Structure 1
């Protein structure tokens, strides 16, 4: 999950707002056809954000330098509670469990592999399989070892070879269980995040992106050599309005080595709603209009015709608990989002899966204040780290069991008047 976004993307969005008239009409409710039986339901998470007891990494260094509000500490202790959390996912009926294998944990010092860390990930993968689910393994979810940070991180060209050596070990170990793969989580947001906390400077950005393009292309081929029928992607952090421009930095350069387009969608934008700026400081005050998910999917369906689409992350933030200032409930948001996925498929888009972010609350890149979990966990105040189910747990279980929302479902959140999620296209061509 990415919590902070690039200032450049927001600036582009506000420019578009200033020139686009609000002329489109709101969208009414329509039939939502059931999803196909082969549709994949999942939950998403990342190791660093949920495992706790984090080893030395770039993010440990950022916390030590006072660049984060909270330190990771125990997080939700997935390190020791992974079996019960995987069981919670199984009880939902999900078929996919997204995880990451943390480079900083398995290679704490250069050239030294930690057998206990590898055993932990072996056990996590085995538990996912035993629960009847398929792992979706992320190779890089924004975290790398402290020793790599000391050497300069992604400022150095040598980082590519070091990264690839670790990624190949992960592939060699787990390709045999037929996972789905995410190579690099949200490269565009990765770059902006590293710039904000000091891992990269503005002058380093272009070269770092070149390195991510290179390692993605190389590990894609390596995965397919080990797992010929593999499904590999690098999920996109969808920036409303600006995505067409952002795509040019990474996605357009690797699309020939993507088996599906992985999409992460959270926030909306329109001429009458400037709340997107709150994503920087108060994401629970940023609008999460789920009809924008339809436009984001349509953006890629039209840009890359025939390419499968997978919603790798989708969710809604609250502040230190279940409620939002706008009163929009997580269960309603989840059902509304699924409705728009159904509408997208009904309109011919090849959407093959949906993951909810996230199974439990976790560490949101410097803070425990934003909450995204189906299960709430008060990390800072509850030493037992109790998993408290939100209403969205039953909602997701029901949605999965029914293959989506009912045909006559009417979204709780009204459609956006002149959505600008896909810039002018979403406003000029609102879904009917």
Structure 2
């Protein structure tokens, strides 16, 4: 399999790699491009990436502090990450050359508003340049305003567990939207806005909450804060309604600055299946989504689907995957069929246009990444054929980046990253998905 060997690959390199990947796919089975008519006009193909996980040295954020305290839930410090803050042009060029037409990225609140009420025009200009680079490469940028991290000052005052937090978030959204204006193609307020509810559904996540709470207590002491709170670890009973109001106010603020911009929200949408009565799955879906369904109905132009696996539930709660089930490096079941199931759920429950804003797998066996992509896309095309308005497939992630508590030990990326030299090396799966994108773009 041909691989790109230079930091800034040439089009010839990419085409050669894509050709090799296409030949491999042909040997394995029918080409996915054979169903070209299944994808609607303007379908978006691309990858997703977040600010903190890729940019590096996000020193004014809550996550940076907690990575550097003990105890911590983080296996590694984010450090330089992939240095995408400085190498964004290389990343965007790589994504474009592979064949993608959409780049989902995050802007970092902690950089833009490093101190409460004081906004950095230099950082806003930086993100404007990132979006201009996307446009120059024919990439339609989808901007996430918050991807789990918040400014340190915001966490120190209680994060999204304080009554005025929605207004502070909306103020930031308005400022950023005014500055970035028409450079954005689409925007979402929060990444996986219901992440706190997921903890109550997946036992392997709940098990880490004890360490998270201890870490929050240490962070509060270190910052002399009466309540140090991070979005993913906040008390969901308190934070969820405030996050929902923050989304509503953030949505309105972005719309006020840019009325014609489509603004949505992304949810973690794991496929809940019952191994007993169907009512069990309904109960756990309610626990996973809560009132976010009604919030998305009233304050979203589209819904972002982010699906990685399924959750099996029985009379006594979540149950383990079937014996012999293939497990990913992230510790959950290899189950690409989950994507189609959550698309169908979102269509029935919310009824808004659907964008797959994340779909991916953690593995060091790239043949399994290719298999995951192919099977996920097969289900996605079935949904489109059923008349469901699905408008994108954005793979998580372009790069092997900082994966939160797992640090750099799990690899979702289409491209490997040398953490010393920052050299990007696309994998066969990058060429494979890029070839599919090229064959089905309109």
- Match of residue 342 from structure 1: 381
Provide the rounded CA distance (Å) in 2 between the counterparts of 1:103 and 1:276: 41
Q: Following the alignment from structure 2 to structure 1, what is the Cα–Cα distance between the partners of residues 293 and 171?
A: 23
Which residue in the other structure is 1:43 paired with?
47
Matches within 5 A, 1:113-262: 113-190=119-196, 192=199, 196=209, 197=212, 198=216, 199=229, 204-241=235-272, 242-262=284-304
Q: 2:425 matched to 1:388?
A: yes
- After superposition, the C-alpha distances for 1:320-342 in whole angstroms (9 at most, x for unaligned) are xx228xxx521221122112111
Instruction: Kindly provide the CA deviation profile for residues 25-62 of structure 1, in whole angstroms up to 9, marking residues without a partner as x.
Output: xxxx9995531232111210111110001122110121
The alpha-carbon deviation at position 224 of structure 1 amounts to 2.4
Judge conservation of contact 1:335–1:395 (CA < 8 Å) in 2: no
Structure of greater relative contact order (alpha carbons < 8 Å, 6+ residues apart): 1
2:100–2:438 contact (8 Å) kept in structure 1:
no
For normalisation by structure 2, the TM-score amounts to: 0.76
Deviations 1:107-144 (A, max 9, x none): 22223333432232121111011111111111111111
SS in 1 for 2:404: coil
- Deviation (angstroms), 1:202: 8.4
Number of aligned positions between the proteins:
363
Give the CA deviation at 1:205. Answer: 2.1
Judge conservation of contact 1:238–1:264 (CA < 8 Å) in 2.
Answer: yes
SS of 2:357's partner is strand
Aligned with 1:97: secondary structure?
strand
- What is the CA-CA distance between 1:269 and the residue it aligns to? 4.3
Give the structure 2 partner of residue 111 of structure 1: 117
Q: 2 CA distance for matches of 1:39 and 1:342?
A: 12
The separation in 2 between residues aligned to 1:244 and 1:190, in whole angstroms, is: 13
By how many angstroms is 1:371 displaced? 0.8
Q: Choose from 295, 303, 308 the match for 2:341.
A: 295
Q: Secondary structure in 2 aligned to 1:341?
A: helix
Is the counterpart of residue 372 in structure 1 residue 412 in structure 2? yes
Superposition TM-score, scaled by structure 1 size: 0.77
**Contact 2:373–2:433 (8 Å) recurs in 1:** yes
1:4 corresponding residue in structure 2: none
Between the aligned partners of 1:346 and 1:282, the Cα distance in structure 2 is 29
Q: Does 1:62 align with 2:60?
A: no
Give the Cα separation in 1 of the matches to 2:137 and 2:175: 25
Please give the alpha-carbon distance, in whole angstroms, between the structure 2 residues aligned to 1:369 and 1:275. Answer: 23
Q: 1:57 to 1:190 in 2, by over 3 A?
A: farther
| Structure 1, gaps ≥5 residues long | 1-28, 405-432
In structure 2, the residue matched to 1:310 is: 355
In 1: Cα distance, 2:313 partner to 2:167 partner: 45
Partner of 1:402: 439
Q: Is the 8 A contact 1:37 1:403 kept in 2?
A: no
Q: Distance in 2 between matches of 1:401 and 1:47?
A: 27
3-state DSSP of counterpart to 2:310: coil
More divergent stretch after superposition (116-125 vs 262-271): 262-271
CA contact (8 A) 2:294 2:350 kept: no
